[in-house]
Amino acid sequence: MIREDTASSPDLFSTKPGTISFAGGMPNLSVLPWEQIADDAHRMLLLGGATILQYTTPGISKGLARAIDSVMAASGVPADPRSVIPTAGSQMGLAAIAQSFAREGQVIACEAPTYPGALAAFRAAGARIVSIDITGGLTEESLAAQLDAAPERPALYYTNPNFHNPTGATHDRVSRELIAAACADRGVRIVEDDPYGLLSFDGEPTPVPFAELAPSTIYLGTFSKIFAPGLRIGWISAPEDVRARLAHVVESMTLSPAPLNHAIAAGFFALGDWKGLVADYRDTYRRQGAAMTRALAETFGDASGWTWNEPGGGFYVWLTHDDVSLDARDLLPMAATEGVSFVPGAFFSAQDDYRNCLRLCFSANSPDKTEEGIARLARALSARPVEVAP
């Protein structure tokens, strides 16, 4: 079943005073070298303010290209500076891809559950979304059956393969090879969205990227999770056959890149210890993820009906209740009363599935705050909406 209507988007980033938010995927910016970034920005403005605060031509500076090349190399992704199109965050990249490929009524295959921003971008372009369920693991037969059940051949296959939003899962090499082969057999282009690939808690590289397995893959990268989201710097690495089309769409959206933001990122990645910063992020998120799962185990126990993943990287813990009649959206008012927030699972579905699930983000809160937030969450989830008699 393909359903066009969906719940409205969750409120991810605005938080009432006193609320502990597990909703938005917000990095913990306490690890940033603030003085160095401030000094660099001050120096850039003094030396070149008239240039970097002015409109500029579309494209990418040599400094930012080198920074992106370094990040892609660390991620194991084949990099060609000529292939890179800068965007205002990877969400703009998704919007550009959607406008380029998703003509009205075109089918796009999205792994499910999936990132709501991808669903929003594809829907805004008029696409129909076919969900590829990945929660039970993929086999060659199950993947083929799901792709072939689409009303027409999908134009794209969207995947968030590393520390997936929202489940935290990572595709192993076997799954990646299955997906790459199935898409190649059907002429379906893969879109690889990779904001979390460098945030493995053990520092080990994630499996081979789709951009290596399938050369036609469109790869999306971002500085939002490994540097600072407020700079709004992402990029598309596109194969030659679609590069000009995507660049034209991006240029129509931006007119001009943000040269100050680009200069700040380029300067830090050239002169700062960016790999040390990523290591600090990993250490921070490893501690915060462990604090969340420890608090869940101590608070909920084995008899609560809730199960969850043990994160190996990224930002998220995905909870599932064994009562499939439960709708986590109904628990939001109780959570608000307790002073805690989360995102219900239905927001990650094109078909209103995963209602008995919810996503928690552990990246923004200290272990102590997380422990208190889980205690509040337990009180909220133990409640059920009271039906008022007419």
pLDDT, one tens digit per residue, over 142-167 is 999 999 999 999 999 999 999 999 99
Q: Which residue has the higher pLDDT, 102 or 214?
A: 214
Task: Give the pLDDT confidence score for residue 383 in this predicted structure.
Answer: 74
Tell whether omega for the bond before 166 is within 30 degrees of 0, i.e. cis.
yes
d(Cα 345, Cα 131) in Å, to the nearest integer?
Answer: 14
Portion of the chain with pLDDT greater than 70, in percent: 94
> Which residues, in sequence order, are CB contacts of 54 under 8 Å at separation 6+?
259
pLDDT at 7 over 80: no
Over residues 19-37, the pLDDT tens digits come to 999 999 999 999 999 999 9
Over residues 237-266, the pLDDT tens digits come to 999 999 999 999 999 999 888 999 999 999
d(Cα 76, Cα 25) in Å, to the nearest integer?
Answer: 24
pTM, whole model, 2 decimals?
0.93
Angle between helices 89-101 and 116-124 (to 10 degrees): 40
User: Do the Cβ atoms of 287 and 367 come closer than 8 Å?
Assistant: yes
d(Cα 201, Cα 204) in Å, to the nearest integer?
Answer: 8
Q: CB neighbours (10 Å) of residue 260?
A: 18
d(Cα 356, Cα 345) in Å, to the nearest integer?
Answer: 7
Task: Give the pLDDT confidence score for residue 80 in this predicted structure.
Answer: 83
> Which residues, in sequence order, are CB contacts of 289 under 8 Å at separation 6+?
201, 311, 317, 362
pLDDT at 376 over 60: yes
**Alpha carbon of 115 to those of 72, 177, 242: distances in Å?**
21, 22, 24
Task: Give the pLDDT confidence score for residue 11 in this predicted structure.
Answer: 63
d(Cα 94, Cα 77) in Å, to the nearest integer?
Answer: 19
pLDDT at 382 over 90: no
Q: CB neighbours (10 Å) of residue 189?
A: 19
**H or E element that contains 85:** strand 84-87
Over residues 180-215, the pLDDT tens digits come to 999 999 999 999 999 999 999 999 999 999 999 999
Tell me the pLDDT band of 4, cut-offs 50, 70 and 90: very low
d(Cα 160, Cα 193) in Å, to the nearest integer?
Answer: 5
Q: Average of pLDDT values for 91-98?
A: 96
d(Cα 364, Cα 204) in Å, to the nearest integer?
Answer: 23
Average pLDDT, the chain: 92
**Alpha carbon of 111 to those of 119, 329, 386: distances in Å?**
10, 22, 34
Over residues 123-139, the pLDDT tens digits come to 999 999 999 999 888 89
Task: Give the pLDDT confidence score for residue 81 in this predicted structure.
Answer: 80
d(Cα 245, Cα 267) in Å, to the nearest integer?
Answer: 29
pLDDT at 1 over 60: no
pLDDT at 15 over 80: no
Pick from 221, 208, 223, 222: nearest CA to 277 = 223
3-state SS class at 278: helix
Kindly tell me the burial class for residue 163, based on how many C-beta atoms sit within 10 Å of its own C-beta (0-12, 13-18, 19 or more). Answer: buried
Over residues 286-312, the pLDDT tens digits come to 999 999 999 999 999 777 899 999 999
d(Cα 268, Cα 278) in Å, to the nearest integer?
Answer: 12
pLDDT at 318 over 70: yes
- Domains in the chain (CATH in brackets) are 20-31+276-382 (3.90.1150.10), 55-271 (3.40.640.10)
For 169-184, the three-class secondary structure string (H helix, E strand, C coil) is CCCCHHHHHHHHHHHH
Over residues 326-355, the pLDDT tens digits come to 999 999 999 999 999 999 999 999 999 999
Task: Give the pLDDT confidence score for residue 389 in this predicted structure.
Answer: 40
